[in-house]
Copies of this chain bind each other. A is one copy, B any other.
């Protein structure tokens, strides 16, 4: 059976992200949509993530002499059209036949950073080839086999990726019931795994496999030593993604981490924990500007980006919304989603009284 996915390439009209998600749901196979839209256990965190932004209010300041606020920002020396970037997600082929190649191009056109997952449906080289001049991060799911790790990190260096994201919150899959109910398996090959399998004796390539099997090959016993390994090998900045505890900050900084990525994986992992936005301020306080903070999980509105920045983030990632754009409009749909977030953020900045992203970051939110 061939999995049918979108082949669209067009401009899409966006009213808001929730209505976009409904259009995608009607457009996709149940199992694949369930894998992407679903989350762990009771999906408490999935629901809590976007609602948590309502725990704080922006109190607008008037008569601030603002017109056309400036959304541009700089991160790691990269000039970006806005502080909104794309987070790493596995298997974009679930939503569009061009997979990460289209996403990378759409994000590039939006003037911001694309993050490629180890478990993508395009290789590190392929993505580098289609978006050579725009900023890219590479997300590493470490393997138990260091030969694999070195092989793929070599590609990231060669491809000009600007940083390595070590995902720390997914050493095994969260208990996602929709995948069990739908008996979900990946219909597309994970191209990096496939390429490696041709080089190695391991014949598995990540297609037709369940989530558990994919995770089985990954390294579960991650430790601070893995930061050192990656940094020593690549000499690239390393971000650790999936931080929810301020107590993790000091050990990570001591281990040399170059960025703290606050995330709960969009609610897909531990469902017993807090909403991502609810822990951001405490973590930012612990970090105290020693390294930059990247934030994701639950961002569905321009106001969410504003609040995350005001609460300590330097840059804010979107995940599922980017894929909904990919499904409905290919690379142009991806660009459209970023432009939609920018439009909402621009209105919120104008109405809140913030001329620049620096001023957004200095805004004091009040408790709701």
Contacts and interface: CB of A to CB of B under 8 A. Distances in A.
Given A41-B303, A245-B60, A223 B65 contact: yes
A273 B58 contact: yes
Interface stretch (A81-89, A112-120, A167-175): A167-175
B168 A63 contact: yes
How many protomers of this protein does the assembly include?
Answer: 4
A112 to B, nearest CB: 21
Given A60-B244, A248-B61, A348 B168 contact: no
A1 interface: no
Contact of A271 (B62, B172, B175, B303): B303
A368 B302 CA distance: 25
A270 B346 CA distance: 11
Nearest to A265: B351
Nearest to A272: B303
A59 interface: yes
A318 B338 CA distance: 38
Contacts of A226: 63
Contacts of A243: 62
A16 interface: yes
A78 B66 CA distance: 36
Nearest to A245: B59
Interface in A54-103: 54, 57-68
Interface in A38-65: 41-42, 44, 53-54, 57-65
Most buried by B among A63, A223, A279, A306: A63
A367 to B, nearest CB: 10
Given A58-B270, A222-B62, A245-B61, A301 B42 contact: yes
Nearest to A177: B15
A348 B270 contact: yes
A121 interface: no
20 contacts: A15-B180, A44-B54, A57-B272, A58-B270, A60-B169, A60-B270, A60-B273, A61-B247, A62-B169, A62-B243, A62-B245, A63-B223, A63-B226, A65-B221, A65-B222, A65-B223, A66-B220, A171-B350, A272-B303, A272-B306
Interface of A: 15-16, 41-42, 44, 53-54, 57-68, 168-169, 171-175, 177, 180-181, 220-224, 226-227, 240, 242-245, 247-248, 251-252, 269-274, 279, 301-303, 306-307, 343-344, 347-348, 350-352, 366, 368
